[in-house]
Structure 1
C-alpha cells in the first residue's frame, strides 16, 4: 500500500511538473484578436455620415522569434476588398502592413498575411502586384516607439494576462491601449502603439477601429510563419510606389478606363 502511494505521488508530481513547464512556455502560441472597423457604405466616402462597422478576426502566431498575422477576410457586402480573391496574400492594392492612417478603411492595411521579425523588432510588409501574384516583394519596417504616451497606473486582465493602460496617438487618432509585459517578445497590431517600447498590445481602441485579444493560447505552432522563400526585398519607398501604382490601376479599372 505504501509502495502504491509513492507510485501515485510520483506520477502526480511528474504530471504537475509537465503541466507547469508547458504553462510557462510563453515563446510559442497564438493570440486571437477581434477587430472592429468603420468604413463608408458602398459608394460613399469617409466622413459623409454613411458608415458601417465590420467585425472580423485576426490570429497572430508566434514562435522562434518570428510572428505571422493571419486575417479572416470580412464580407464587404458582396465583394472582396480591393477586388482580390480570398487568401490572395496581398490584401488588395493597399498591400499588407501595420501602418495606421489613410485608406477607405480608416487605415486598415493589414488584410491577408503580414509577417514580423520579433527578434529584430521589424514588420515585414508583403506585397504582390495584382497582375502577377506569383511575384512577392517585402520591405522591412522597424518598430516605432509611441510618441508622448500618457501612462496610467490602472491594470486589468485580458485573456488571462495582466495589462497596463496607456493613451497613445498614432497619425492623429487617439487610442486607449492595454498592453502586457508578461510575454517574452514585443508586438502591436499597429506600429507606434507600444508605450514602453516593450510589451504586447492586447487591446487598442480608437475612434474608427479597435483590436481586442479574446484568447492567448500557448501551444506549438505548426503554421508556416516565414515569408515566402522567393520574396524579393525592396525599400519602403519602393513598396510605397508599387502600392500607389496598383491603387491607381485599380481605380482606373473601377472607373472603366
Structure 2
C-alpha cells in the first residue's frame, strides 16, 4: 500500500512538472521607456524644459498558440519640481492590440466617445527586416537581432523563435518570431517576466462588436 502511494505521488509531481514546461500559453510583462526629449518635433522643442526626459509604462501580452493580445498601461501623471503636473499619453485611445498568426493579420481595438472600433493594421514587409549578428539573452531565451525601419525610425528587435506567436510590444512584428526586446532612439522595451499559464481562447480572439 505504501509503495502504491509513493508511486502515485511521484507520478502526480511529474505531471505538474511536465505541465509547467508547456510554452504554448502564457502571459508576458514588458517594461517600456519612452525618451520624450528625443521624440519632440522641431516645433515642440520649446517645451523641452517643461517635460521629463523619460516616461515609463508597461504592456502585458497574452498568448495562446499563434494568437496574442497586448494591453498597455499608460504612464502615471508626473509632477515637476515647480509643482506642474504632466500627463503623458502613449498612442491613441487603444484598448488592446490583437495578432493572429493563422491569418497573418492584426487589429487595434480603440474607444472614443463611448464607442469601440476595430481597425486592421498592416504588418511590415516580411522582406524588409534585416537579421543582425548580435544576440541578447532575455528571460533565458537567446534572442537574435533583427533590424527594421519603423514609423519613428530604425528599430532593433530581439527575437526568439521558441514561442508560438509573432510580434511583441509597441506593435512590433517580424516573421522571425516573438519579440522580447526593442531598442531605438525614441523608446525601448524589454520583457521582464513570463508566466506559462492557461489563457482562454476568447481572451486572444478579436471581439465581435
Structure 2 length normalisation: TM-score?
0.77
Alignment of 1:179 with 2:169, yes or no, is: no
Deviations 1:115-150 (A, max 9, x none): 232332222122333xx21x2221212432455433
CA distance in 1, matches of 2:176, 2:156: 17
| 2:77–2:88 contact (8 Å) kept in structure 1 | yes
Q: Work out which of the residue numbers 21, 24, 28 in structure 2 matches 1:27.
A: 24
* Structure 2 unaligned blocks of 5 or more: 79-84
Residue 197 of structure 2: aligned partner: 219
Change (3 A) 1:147 1:14: same
| 2:59–2:169 contact (8 Å) kept in structure 1 | no
CA distance in 1, matches of 2:36, 2:93: 17
Structure 1 length normalisation: TM-score?
0.64
The 5 A counterparts of 1:61-72 are 61-63=62-64, 65-72=66-73
Aligned residues: 196
Change (3 A) 1:143 1:23: farther
Residue 39 of structure 1: aligned partner: 36
Q: Work out which of the residue numbers 81, 94, 97 in structure 2 matches 1:114.
A: 97
The DSSP-based 3-state class of the residue aligned with 1:220 is coil
C-alpha displacement of 1:25: 1.9
Change (3 A) 1:203 1:45: closer
Deviations 1:82-114 (A, max 9, x none): 6xxxxxxxx77x343xxxxxxxxxxxxxxx422
Residue 229 of structure 1: aligned partner: 208
The DSSP-based 3-state class of the residue aligned with 2:36 is strand
Question: Root-mean-square deviation (CA), in Å?
Answer: 3.0
Change (3 A) 1:79 1:114: farther
Q: Which has the higher strand share?
A: 2
CA distance in 1, matches of 2:88, 2:30: 20
Runs of 4+ in 1 over 6 A off after TM superposition: none
Deviations 1:33-56 (A, max 9, x none): 000002259xx9535282520011
CA distance in 2, matches of 1:153, 1:189: 22
Deviations 1:182-207 (A, max 9, x none): 0112123245652xx13001001000
